[in-house]
Structure 1
Amino acid sequence: MIAKHGSYYEWTKRKEFQVGDSLMFEYDGNVNDVTQVSSRLEYQFCNSLSPKAFYNTGHDVVTLTEPVDDVLEINSDLEFKSCDTISPVALHNAGQDLIRLTKPGIRYFITSKIGHCEAGLKLRVVVRPLSKSVPKKMQLSPFDRFIKWLRDSFTPHPHH
C-alpha cells in the first residue's frame, strides 16, 4: 500500500510494524526525499540535522532492522495516567539505557508506541532520599550476617 501525504499519519497509526517489515516510498525524487531519523522527538520536531539514513531515488524500500519502541520520561502524574507523549523531559531509545536515580522524587516513564502505554506499559518510580543513618543490619558484611544467623539459629537455648 502506498500512503498519500495527507493520510500517511492516519495510516501509520493503525499499523503495527515488526523487525523485518519493509516500507516502500514512491515519490518524485527531483522534488522530495525520505530522511530516517533516530527518535520520536526528531520526527515530532522535523529535526533531520543528523539523519540515520537518507533516500532520494523516488523508489526506496526501507527494511526495519531494529525494534521501534522507546521510553519517554515525562513530568507529571497526569501525563502518566493519560499516556501523554507530547512534552517528554527525556527520551531513552538505545535499548539498554541506564537511568540514574540521583534525586528523591517521583519519576514517570512511558512507551511512545501507540496503544502500549494505554495497555499498561509504563512505570512510576518513587526515589526515596538516602537515610542519614545506616541500619545496624546493613553495617555487617554479608559474610558476617551469615555467621550471625548461623550462631543465632544453631546455638542451644536453655529450656525453662
Structure 2
Amino acid sequence: MIPPPPRKILPFGKDYKVGDSNEWRVPEESDFYSKWSEEKQFHVGDNLLFYYNDQVDDVLEINSDLEFRFCDTTSPVAVHNGGQDLIRLTKPGIRYFITSKIGHCEAGLKLRVVVRPLSTSVAKKTQLSPFGRLIKWLHDSFRPHPHH
C-alpha cells in the first residue's frame, strides 16, 4: 500500500483508516460503520482514508441525513472512485458517505462522521504536558506582584 502524501495544511490532524482492517466494503453487521465512527472523535484537520476495491465500490459524499438514511445517490457532493481516497475534514459538522453500488449502502456500507471544531484552547493545551501545565499554573499563580 502506498502511504498517504505528506500533509501541507493542519499538521496536527489524525489519519483514520475507515473501517480499520475491514476497510470500505459491505460489512458483516449492518451497523459496523456507525459503531466504528461512534468510537472515535473526529476533528477539523483529520483525514479519512478510504481503501476499497474500485471494481466493487466507490465513495459518494452526500448532503443530508435523509439521503443517508435512504441511500439516495442522486445528488452527491463529491464522488471518489480511486480505491484509495484521502478525504480531509476541513470544517465542523456532519459528513455523510455512502456507496453508489446497488444494495451495498442498504447492507450497511455507509458512514456518518461528526466533525468537531478544533478549538484554539485544545491546540494550546496539547502542546504542554500535564507537568508543563502544572509548572505554568504555579508560575502564573505565584508570580510576585509589584508593590506600589
| Shorter-chain TM-score tier | 0.3 to 0.5
The answer to which structure, 1 or 2, has the higher relative contact order (CA under 8 A, 6+ apart) is 2
Considering only CA atoms, is the larger Rg found in Structure 1 or Structure 2?
1
